[in-house]
């Protein structure tokens, strides 16, 4: 079986700028992304997180570390503040090794972020 490097995407939203909710929603999103795509810990290369400007009380990477991802390179950044964009949003791009073809990846969008990619079937 040949493995390729792929980027797996996802997003979720929070109801408030609350550190515990940022961690909770980040963990929920990552676990869903990994489960839907059969990603094992050793297949993770790195994970990028972005948050909208209204989520600044915690780093999503801190939540990721609570599920054993402390040895995976994690990076957080702020999303571009585009007028009218989705508020309180966490976006993720995980770089993984996988046997899945690009078109077979299941990108995951939870809570209000589902509307960001209504072209993706659940």
- 79 is a catalytic site residue: yes
- Residue 91 appears among annotated catalytic residues: yes
Residue-level length of the chain: 122
Is 28 among the catalytic positions? Answer: no
Question: Which residue among 24, 36, 65, 97 is the active-site one?
Answer: 65
89 is annotated as an active-site residue: no
Catalytic residue among 6, 14, 25, 79: 79
76 as an active site residue: the answer is yes
Query: Are 59 and 13 contacting, i.e. CB atoms less than 8 angstroms apart?
Result: no
Whether the CB-CB separation of 61 and 75 falls below 8 Å is answered with: yes
d(CA 99, CA 107): 15
| Whether 114 is catalytic | no
Q: Is 88 a catalytic residue?
A: no
Question: Which positions are annotated as active-site residues?
Answer: 9, 65, 76, 79, 91, 109, 117
């Amino acid at each position: 079986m040949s493995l390729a490097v792929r980027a797996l995407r996802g997003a979720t939203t929070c109801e408030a700028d609350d550190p515990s909710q940022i961690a909770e929603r980040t963990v929920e999103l990552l676990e869903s992304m990994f489960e839907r795509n059969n990603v094992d810990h050793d297949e993770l290369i790195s994970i990028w997180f972005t948050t909208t400007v209204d989520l600044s009380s915690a780093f999503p990477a801190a939540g990721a570390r609570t599920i054993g991802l402390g040895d995976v390179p994690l990076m957080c950044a702020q999303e571009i503040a585009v007028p009218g964009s989705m508020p309180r949003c966490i976006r993720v791009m995980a770089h993984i090794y996988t046997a899945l073809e690009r078109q077979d990846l299941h990108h995951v969008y939870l809570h209000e972020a589902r509307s960001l990619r209504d072209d993706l079937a659940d």
